[in-house]
Amino acid sequence: MARLSKQNHIQLLLTVGLLSWLLPGAGYFVLEEKKRAIIIFVTITLTLCTGLYVGSIGIIDLVGPVPLYVKVAQVMNPPIVLAISHYTAGGGYPVYGWPNEIGQIYTMVSGLLNLLCIVNVLSLAYLGKITQEGE
């Protein structure tokens, strides 16, 4: 990467962070870590899809009587979860028992994994700036 000014570096951090939330692995792709980007995308997407398959879209309910930690963890997924939540807000998709719990666990894990990857890509972008200044 070329030498960045402070303003450009802040824009890079914001762009990388936002892209990582919108599409898992996109921030790594911007930082030219293509293999890592593909691995992150596949892992988070498959974990989220597995949770939705096991528990149906009814497990994404951000307005219903679901514990707060479930809602926060699920929001860390890509914005498709917000669209699903808007669609299921009426409560027309009841899910009970083990499929509900296992589906919630999978979607929570994918959301928290996405959050971890966002923090990591921001760290890599920030440390890239420090090492460039040290050269």
Q: Which domain holds residue 43?
A: 22-130
pLDDT above 70 for 58: yes
| 109 within domain boundaries | yes
Find the length of the chain. 135
33 domain-assigned:
yes
Residue 12 lies in a domain: no
Residue 7 lies in a domain: no
Extract the tokens encoding 110: 């994918």
Cα within 13 Å of Cα(55), Cβ side: 25
- Mean pLDDT over 58-86 rounds to 85
Cα 19 from Cα 24, distance rounded (Å) = 8
49 within some domain: yes
Find the range with the poorest average confidence among 5-9, 50-54, 67-71, 112-116: 5-9
Q: What pLDDT, on a 0 to 100 scale, did the predictor assign at position 34?
A: 93
Confidence of residue 60 (pLDDT cuts 50, 70, 90): confident
In a domain, 9, yes or no: no
Q: By percentage, how much of the chain surpasses pLDDT 90? A: 48
Whose tokens are 């528990």? That residue is 55
Query: Greater confidence, 88 or 46?
Result: 46
Q: Is residue 6 part of a domain?
A: no
Residue 40 is predicted with a pLDDT of 96
Query: What average pLDDT does the structure give for the chain?
Result: 85
- The model's pTM is 0.82
Tell the residue number behind the tokens 């894990």, with chain if given.
109
pLDDT at 1: 47
The total of structural domains in the chain comes to 1
Long-range own/partner contacts, residues 23-26 (CB < 8 A, 24 or more apart): 23/78, 24/78, 24/114, 24/117, 25/117
pLDDT in tens, 77-132: 999 888 888 888 766 777 777 788 899 999 999 999 999 999 999 999 988 755 55
The residue behind tokens 């440390």 is 127
In a domain, 72, yes or no: yes
